[in-house]
A and B are shown apart, each in its own frame.
Chain A
Amino acid sequence: MDFNFTDEQTMLRDSIAKFVAAEYDFDKRKAILKSADGWSKKAWATFAELGLMAAPLPEEYGGLGGGPVDTLVIMEEFGKGLVVEPWLQTVVIGGGFLKHAGSEAQKQEHIAAIASGERIVAFAYAEPKGRYNLSDVSTTAKKDGAGYVINGHKAVVIGAPQADHLIVTARTAGGQRDAKGVSAFIVAKNAKGVTTRDYATIDGFRASEVYFENVSVGADALIGAADGALPLVEKVVDEAIAGLCAEAVGTFRLMHSLTLEYARQRKQFGVAIGSFQVLQHRMVDMFMATEQSISMAYMATLKLDESDTERAKAVSAAKVQIGKSGRFIGQAAVQIHGGMGVTEEMRVGHYFKRATMIDAQFGNVDHHVKKFTNLSMPQAA
């Protein structure tokens, strides 16, 4: 058992922290969010230069051969900087699908392009009525000669405005919620019949509603086995959740330290509000929730390569703990900041928004408690 980061991982962390301090501070980030595209191509290029795209991808396709711990380090620092570029979607999800199940040709074509920063991928899985159920897929991909024709509507696809390729889940067989019959495809966003409505999310990301209208793709667009993609989707989503947990930890650390700082300097009744025991204990509870969350982010990350059941249990447990902690830490941070906490002027509120939205991504507390419960206490037992 070992909880240490390697020197390379520490250097990676430092280089992102340096970047955030110099190029992605509060005002610069605000300007990025206000720009027409709402994200920074320059930052994206810097990420590629720093090797962040290549970090967790396989070496034979231009990656650096790292693993989930590299993702953890990167996402935690992104959380501290509230980075809105779609790195998770592109590298962890896009790269994840391709490295786990891509054909040789798909790997050659896409992984090297992701690693170099040329390719941006978004994951079109959620549907307007599918909520968090990964097998609830009504988008269809009908066999057409050697290829498929895709029809459907995908909801809140984070990073789709920036993306040049989409990974799409679609039903090739079975009923709307059947586990079997789900397939995954990689589709160029400029393919005929793909349209998007782009918008901003409340936490500063960009997303789209994506519509597929008779979109023809070749057989080479299929990732992994036809009808049998659900286990792959679950695995990649778990890897993404572990990344989100690390990102959440970054936001928690900042909310906690910003709150401490504020409580030390803000005076009421002639003294710093940090001298009040009722607020001290609240901040201690924030500290404990943060530490527990760090532990869970590590645990989920380190169990990603275990059996499907162990992995899913670990990830759901982490997502539950981090969802609850995010709610608590965020609300406490805003409360202790008082009126300033509910304005756009203070940094803390922006972390609160991101931490809150992380709970809504890939299944909230209720979703993952239920999932964990069924894995821990199987109904048949």
Chain B
Amino acid sequence: MNLEYSAEEIAFRDEVRAFIRDNYPAHLRDIESRDKMNREDFLAWHKILGKKGWSAPAWPVEYGGTGWTSTQRYIWGEENALAETTPLLPFGLSMVAPVIYTFGTPEQKAYYLPRILSGEDWWCQGYSEPGAGSDLAGLRTTAVRKGDKYIVNGQKTWTTLAQYADWGFFLCRTDPDAKKQEGISFILIDMKSPGVTVRPIIMLDGGHEVNDVYLDNVEVPVENLVGKENQGWTCAKFLLAHERSGIAGVARSKRGVERLKDLARAELADDGGPLIRDDDFRRKIAELEIDLSALEYTELRVLANEHAGKGPGVESSLLKVKGTEIQQRLTELAMEAVGNYTMPYFRSAGDGNDFAVGPDYAKMTAPSYFNMRKTSIFGGSNEIQRNIIAKMVLGL
């Protein structure tokens, strides 16, 4: 056991650090904590990395992965967090793509994967429904085979950034008579198809991040089925495990702790001294930092296992629970740190409050707090994660 980087790993770190420094658009640095992001903001870094061949470090090399070791991937995450780059969206790169390269046909791989790598296609996820949240297998959207087409009808919800999406991956019921999990198929749908309607849902922070997606007699070619018909649940579970493994967000939370300390240095406590010297507040930061350290080394142990050939397993449920608790706690403390100036309602430039109120670092604190409550709910709520661990690890 040791924690040291080899000479090659140090050289790698220097290389990626230099690449980020030279190529990351300066105006997007740390944009998340300052402003709302538009479509181009989300895609800019993805496209740059696509050209470099670095947009999907976790993929197998044959499909465009980088072939990096788990330590190199860890370094990559750390460097991106340090440089405060925008995170790449997961829907294509780390959700649908692993399903396609694991279960897809050669034609599907050849068509979709390069377009995901480059950032050409924007993907969204059609999983949840109004009546199927944590109980995902209760979904009712149907896909009925007619000749060489599926006719899809139903409603999906919480579809993140569907307003920008070119494609969506959908779970649809293809056998209404089968047992819950057994009649589901994993189908790719062109979001520009007739019959697809996207309606915004506005979140507590005022942001348009998620949507309802209505599917009204949408015709989908049968070659858009991934894996076998009625075996979509296998894909769905596989994807959820992948989705969770990146969810710990350790490197970004480490950066978040540093930002929180900066806030606490800038803000004053009631006694007029810097907030960071206030005993109660500094203890809260320290305890969060310690929790994060425990998560970091747990993730490193999980990565080491993965590198030894074991795929993301149920450990990812643990990372999801602890990672999201920490992300939420960070936003909570940032909001507490800025005191009164967390209150003004910032939507976006020119939208109501178009004059600056309070320090720049304060304006996203309350919106972030409200927004981040989603993290313990999405991707399988943290209670569902506990059910998974109880069943799969503890055998209860």
User: B2 and A302: CB pair below 8 A?
Assistant: yes
- Per-residue A-contact encoding for B110-141, CB less than 8 Å = 1, 0 else: 00000000000000000000000000000000
With A299-B293, A320-B290, A376-B289 already in contact, the answer to whether A4 and B1 are too (CB < 8 A) is yes
Q: Per DSSP, are chain A's interface residues mostly helix, strand or loop, or mixed?
A: helix
Tally of A-B Cβ pairs under 8 angstroms: 119
B366 part of interface (Cβ distance < 8 Å): no
* Contact-residue bracket for chain B: 35 or more
Cβ–Cβ < 8 Å partners of B291 in chain A: 292, 321
A281 to B181, CA, bound (A): 24
User: A283 and B394: CB pair below 8 A?
Assistant: yes
With A302-B2, A321-B290 already in contact, the answer to whether A280 and B297 are too (CB < 8 A) is no
Give min CB distance, B112 to chain A, whole Å. 34
- Per-residue A-contact encoding for B163-196, CB less than 8 Å = 1, 0 else: 0000000000000000000000000000000000
Cβ–Cβ < 8 Å partners of A292 in chain B: 291, 294-295, 298, 322
With A281-B386, A369-B286 already in contact, the answer to whether A298 and B1 are too (CB < 8 A) is yes
A223 to B287, CA, bound (A): 36
Give min CB distance, B162 to chain A, whole Å. 33
Which of A260, A301, A317, A381 is in CB contact (< 8 Å) with B396?
A260
Cβ–Cβ < 8 Å partners of A260 in chain B: 394-396
B248 part of interface (Cβ distance < 8 Å): no
Question: A260 — nearest CB in chain B belongs to which residue?
Answer: B394
User: A280 and B3: CB pair below 8 A?
Assistant: no
User: A1 and B301: CB pair below 8 A?
Assistant: no
A318 to B304, CA, bound (A): 20
User: A288 and B321: CB pair below 8 A?
Assistant: yes
Report B245-291 residues with CB < 8 Å from chain A CB.
261, 265, 276-277, 282-283, 285-287, 289-291
Give min CB distance, A254 to chain B, whole Å. 15
User: A377 and B286: CB pair below 8 A?
Assistant: yes
- Per-residue A-contact encoding for B37-81, CB less than 8 Å = 1, 0 else: 000000000000000000000000000000000010010000000
Cβ–Cβ < 8 Å partners of B151 in chain A: none
Cβ–Cβ < 8 Å partners of A69 in chain B: 1
With A1-B300, A291-B318, A296-B293 already in contact, the answer to whether A280 and B396 are too (CB < 8 A) is yes
User: A379 and B3: CB pair below 8 A?
Assistant: no
Question: A264 — nearest CB in chain B belongs to which residue?
Answer: B396
User: A296 and B294: CB pair below 8 A?
Assistant: yes
Report B319-361 residues with CB < 8 Å from chain A CB.
321-322
Question: A316 — nearest CB in chain B belongs to which residue?
Answer: B290
Cβ–Cβ < 8 Å partners of A263 in chain B: 396
B14 part of interface (Cβ distance < 8 Å): no
Give min CB distance, A225 to chain B, whole Å. 30
Cβ–Cβ < 8 Å partners of A376 in chain B: 285-286, 289
A39 part of interface (Cβ distance < 8 Å): no
* Contact-residue bracket for chain A: 35 or more
Cβ–Cβ < 8 Å partners of A299 in chain B: 3, 293, 297
Cβ–Cβ < 8 Å partners of A381 in chain B: 265, 276
User: A295 and B301: CB pair below 8 A?
Assistant: yes
Cβ–Cβ < 8 Å partners of A2 in chain B: 1-2, 304
Candidate in A3, A275, A283, A369 with the most chain B CB atoms within 10 angstroms: A3
Cβ–Cβ < 8 Å partners of B88 in chain A: none
User: A373 and B286: CB pair below 8 A?
Assistant: yes
User: A1 and B394: CB pair below 8 A?
Assistant: no
Give min CB distance, A292 to chain B, whole Å. 4
B201 part of interface (Cβ distance < 8 Å): no
B19 part of interface (Cβ distance < 8 Å): no
Cβ–Cβ < 8 Å partners of B102 in chain A: none
User: B394 and A280: CB pair below 8 A?
Assistant: yes
B389 part of interface (Cβ distance < 8 Å): yes
Which of A275, A280, A320 is in CB contact (< 8 Å) with B386?
A280
Cβ–Cβ < 8 Å partners of A377 in chain B: 261, 276, 282, 285-286
Give min CB distance, B32 to chain A, whole Å. 24
A301 to B2, CA, bound (A): 9
Beyond the given pairs A288-B321, A292-B295, A321-B293, 6 more chain A to chain B contacts, judged by CB atoms under 8 angstroms and listed by A's residue number, are A275-B396, A287-B394, A288-B389, A295-B300, A372-B290, A376-B286
Give the interface of B toward A (CB within 8 A). 1-5, 71, 74, 261, 265, 276-277, 282-283, 285-287, 289-291, 293-298, 300-301, 304, 315, 318, 321-322, 383, 386-387, 389-390, 393-396
List 5 interface pairs A-B (beta carbons < 8 Å), by A numbering.
Answer: A3-B301, A280-B396, A295-B301, A299-B297, A377-B286
